[in-house]
Amino acid sequence: MSFGLSRGKGFDIAPGVVMVSDEELPPLPDDVMTNPDAGRLDPRQWFTHRGDEPSRRFEIEIGSGKGTFLVQHAPTTPETDYLGIEWAGEFCNYAADRVRRAQLGNVRMLRTDATEFLKWRVPAGIADVIHLYFSDPWPKSRHHKKRVVQDTFLADVWRVLKPGGELRVVTDHDDLWAWDREHFDRWCGSGPCPGHEGPIPAFEEEAFSKPDSVGEGELVGTNFERKFREEGRSFHSTVLRKPV
Please give the positions annotated as active site. Answer: 136
Cβ atoms of 74 and 80 within 8 Å: the answer is yes
* Calpha distance 135→172 (Å, rounded): 9
CA distances from 58 to 16, 109, 211, 219, 229 (A): 21, 13, 16, 21, 29
Q: Which of 106, 61, 44 is nearest to 79 (CA)?
A: 106
CB atoms under 10 Å from CB of 116, counted, come to 11
* Strand stretches in the chain, DSSP E: 57-62, 80-85, 107-110, 127-133, 161-171, 204-206, 236-241
Contacts of 224 (CB under 8 A, 6+ apart): 65, 133, 134, 172
Rg of the chain over Cα atoms, rounded to whole angstroms, equals: 18
CA distances from 68 to 113, 146, 191, 214 (A): 19, 24, 35, 11
Residue 167, Cβ density class (10 Å: 0-12 exposed, 13-18 middle, ≥19 buried)? buried
